[in-house]
């Protein structure tokens, strides 16, 4: 594993199939990338907003390599290894994608992702 990248993860592309028998949308997804080296970190909440009693959105920051992947906003991120990680198996929605200054051919290139928790109601994850 590359130094500092302590997780492996999968990137899912979320899509919608035709409506089911009662007219509801069926959410599906396919794995676009597997075994992606990753570093995941939670962002700090704004303390002033917490003191005022406001609910804040819990966001996370992830660094993934290589920088040649086609990752899009609204894709989903899932941690797959190690199995004893606090976020093992959890899914996160990608809300921001930032590419590094390096050219994609440079082995130092990386992608920074901004994530929030993805929780689907009435779904089997």
Query: How far is residue 62's CA from residue 22's CA, in Å, rounded to a whole number?
Result: 38
Supply the DSSP symbol for 101: S
Which pTM value belongs to this model?
A: 0.75
* pLDDT tens digit sequence for 11-55: 999 877 666 666 666 667 788 899 999 999 888 766 655 556 666
| Cβ atoms of 117 and 76 closer than 8 Å | no
User: 2 vs 42, 88, 122, CA distance in Å?
Assistant: 20, 19, 38
Domain 7-117: give its CATH superfamily. Bacteriophage SPP1 head-tail adaptor protein (2.40.10.270)
The ranges assigned to domains in the chain are 7-117
**pLDDT tens column, 67-98:** 889 999 989 999 999 999 888 988 899 999 99
The residues pairing with 61 across neighbouring beta strands, listed in sequence order, are: 41, 114
């Amino acid at each position: 594993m590359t130094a500092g990248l302590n997780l492996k993860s999968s990137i899912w592309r979320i899509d919608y199939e035709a409506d089911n028998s009662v007219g509801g949308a069926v959410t599906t997804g396919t794995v676009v990338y597997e075994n992606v080296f990753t570093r995941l970190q939670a962002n700090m909440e704004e303390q002033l907003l917490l003191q005022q009693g406001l609910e804040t959105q819990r966001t996370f920051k992830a660094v993934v390599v290589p920088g040649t992947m086609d990752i899009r906003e609204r894709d989903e991120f899932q941690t797959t290894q190690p199995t004893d990680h606090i976020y093992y198996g959890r899914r996160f929605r990608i809300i921001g994608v930032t590419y590094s200054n390096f050219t994609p051919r440079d082995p130092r290139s990386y992608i920074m992702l901004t994530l929030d928790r993805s929780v689907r109601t009435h779904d089997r994850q």
